[in-house]
Amino acid sequence: MYKPIALVCAVCLVLAVGIAAFCGARTDDPLGIAVSPQTLILNSSQGGFVSVHTDIKLSAVDTTSLELNGIPAKGAGADATGCLVASFDEAAVKAIVSPPQATLTLTGLYKDGTAFSGSDEVRVTLR
């Protein structure tokens, strides 16, 4: 009777470790900085926000200090693994980029006052 429960628990543990290892795996940045969407379409609305995913634990960050190329964050929260996800105004981000690509840099402070920064490159198109 306990074997099925143990198997389910083992599968859940493997999935949790896999998700944690995947956090930010799309990027080469050491802080796991990954901008979404990866393609900014200048002549089209893409939901109103540009999100920046990281491998930084939200609990360690002063969220009021977050900026993306000088644009202040509209909000910040945690993903399923507790890592920081910051949101930025889509129109403000699109106003500072141009085709064919742009490097977007997230800057901020840890709660202890130490600065951090990391970048991701996105594709930029007109349509």
Predicted pLDDT of residue 28: 76
In angstroms, rounded to a whole number, what is the distance separating the alpha carbons of residues 41 and 116? 28
> Which of 118, 121, 119, 72 lies closest to 99, judged by CA?
121
Q: Are 76 and 20 in contact (CB under 8 A)?
A: no
Domain span at 64: 2-125
- Split into its structural domains, the chain has a count of 1
Residue 127 has what pLDDT?
Answer: 87
Mean pLDDT by 10 residues, the chain (127 residues): 43 38 60 97 96 97 98 98 98 98 98 97 96
Is the bond preceding residue 99 a cis peptide, omega within 30 degrees?
no
pTM for this one?
0.79
* Helix or strand run (H / E) with residue 78: strand 75-78
Q: Are 121 and 101 in contact (CB under 8 A)?
A: yes
For residue 88, the domain's CATH number is 2.60.40
Annotate 26-59 with b (16+ C-beta within 10 A) or e (fewer).
ebebebbbbbbeeebeeeeeeeebbbbbbbbebe
Q: Give the pLDDT score at 20.
A: 41
